[in-house]
């Protein structure tokens, strides 16, 4: 009977850990600074249609995305004329495909709804990110 009790407890523990993992994965990343987390196509199109914008394509399970998020928040405070938008690639697959996102994080720079050529940043390269922001903020 002891072996049976141990097996039941092990199964319950594993089920609880799976539940915790799924719960953590489904929660959005914490926004930092003036970063706008978007999960609607219409709102996304409205936000990027005019002015300079940085799109941060991320995933909740992506370690580098979580690591760079506070720095992106700081940059959003520093460059207040630029709109900073976070897009979860798992929730907005169509937008991610439209921009050809294949790695996270990917930062895309837009001016008046058009992507600025040769200014895309793949990975958590904060220096390259700031250079791109400077290019669109003028």
Catalytically active residues are 62, 65
DSSP code string of 66-109: HHHHHHHHHHHHH-TTSEEEEEETTT-HHHHHHTT--SSSEEEE
Using DSSP's 3-state secondary structure scheme, residue 11 falls into helix
Residue in the structure block whose two tokens are 């995305």: 65
């Amino acid at each position: 009977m002891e072996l049976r009790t141990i097996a039941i407890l092990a199964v319950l523990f594993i089920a609880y850990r799976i539940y915790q993992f799924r719960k953590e994965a489904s929660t959005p990343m914490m926004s930092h600074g003036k970063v706008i987390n978007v999960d609607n196509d219409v709102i996304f199109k409205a936000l990027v249609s005019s002015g300079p914008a940085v799109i941060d394509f991320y995933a909740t399970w992506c370690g580098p995305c979580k690591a760079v998020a506070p720095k992106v928040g700081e940059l959003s405070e520093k460059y207040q004329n630029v709109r900073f938008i976070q897009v979860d690639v798992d929730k907005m697959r169509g937008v991610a495909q439209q921009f050809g996102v294949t790695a996270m994080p990917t930062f895309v720079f837009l001016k008046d709804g058009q992507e600025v050529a040769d200014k895309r940043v793949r990975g958590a390269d904060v220096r390259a990110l700031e250079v791109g922001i400077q290019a669109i903020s003028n």
